[in-house]
Amino acid sequence: MMIKHHLSEKLLLAYSSGNLPEAFNLVVATHISMCDECRIAACAHDAVGGAVLESSDCVEMEPNAFAKTLKLISDQDEPMLNDINIRRSGKSRFPKPLQDYVGGDLNDVRWRSIGMGVKQSILKTSKEATVRLLRIPAGSAVPDHGHQGTELTLVLQGAFVDETDRFGPGDVEVANEDLNHMPIAELGEDCICLAATDAPLRFNSLIPRIAQPFFRI
């Protein structure tokens, strides 16, 4: 997978330090699952977290803290973990973090039509931000929408093009208020995206303005 559009350092730092809403964490974790570069960068930011922990002063634990920790360990029924479960990859398979939220893979998504052939499925997260799967028919446009706050869009399948660039599988677009974009799905297969926003997505009209499929050569 050739990934061209990555997460920003700022987002990676916010993810690593635990400053992102759950909805954004999901997009970041899903992208990292697909992208070695961002996985490496996230690990580097985690290392800074380790340095911050190491530089912390000491606050005395309760006198029986160690005994209580041993009790926590012995109360757990599970044996010491030995292996990481690795799942097989496949075309319609979602990366593990997304799978956990969908409760399955692409075939298990419960889509709801939002007009013009575009479908969405909102995933349940904390309320500070929302995250949804979008399915845009090949050759169609996503209803014209503006942003408030930040929107993160990760392509899972297919590709879309907007005035900034082309975004293919694994690519992530970080959009802020300045971008009033009109993503158009490329011909070929339907474009499936995972999109998070920390403000409500506002479609500019009830019936999306872009009524005709848009063909791009």
Partner 1 sequence: MYIIFPEAYRDGHAIPSAVQAQKNSDQMNGKSKPGLNNSTQTKWVEQMEKIQNSQDQTAFAELFSHFAPRLKSFLLKSGASPSMAEDIAQETMATVWQKAKLFDPTRANVSTWIFTIARNRKIDVLRKENRPEPEELPWGPAEEPDQADVLALQQETEKLSEALADLPPKQAELVKKAYYGDLSHSEIATETGLPLGTIKSRLRLALERLRHRMT
Distance of closest approach, residue 12 Cβ to partner 1, in angstroms = 10
- Binding test (CB under 8 A) with partner 1, winner from 4, 66, 164, 205: 66
Interaction of residue 9 with partner 1, rule CB under 8 A? yes
Q: Is 91 in the site for partner 1 (CB under 8 A)?
A: no
Element (H, E) at 119: strand 118-123
206 alpha-carbon distance from chain centroid: 26
The interface region with partner 1, picked from 73-81, 154-162, 165-173, 205-213 by CB under 8 A, is 73-81
**82 or 212: whose CB is closer to partner 1?**
82
- Of 74 and 107, the one with the shorter C-beta distance to partner 1 is 74
Among residues 23 and 192, whose Cβ is nearest to partner 1? 23
- Going by their DSSP bridges, the two strands 172-175 and 112-115 should be labelled as unpaired
What single-letter DSSP state applies at residue 117? T
Q: Does 96 bind partner 1 (CB under 8 A)?
A: yes
Task: Decide: is 1 part of the binding site for partner 1 (CB under 8 A).
Answer: no
Q: Which of the stretches 64-72, 111-119, 157-165, 200-208 binds partner 1 when contact is defined by CB under 8 A?
A: 64-72
**108-137 core/surface letters (b: 16 or more CB in 10 A; e: else):** ebeeeebebebbbbebebeeebbbbbbbbb
C-alpha distance from residue 133 to each of 68, 118, 119 (Å): 43, 11, 8
Under rule CB under 8 A, residue 107 binds partner 1: no
Binders of partner 1 in range 175-214 (CB under 8 A): none
25 binds partner 1 (CB under 8 A): yes
Distances (CA, A) of 143 to 65, 118, 140, 203: 56, 8, 9, 7
Among 1, 2, 76, 91, binds partner 1 (CB under 8 A): 76
Sign of the alpha-carbon dihedral angle for 156, 158, 161, 166: positive
Give the largest Cα separation in the chain, rounded. 71
Segment 138 to 167, residues that bind partner 1, using CB under 8 A: 150
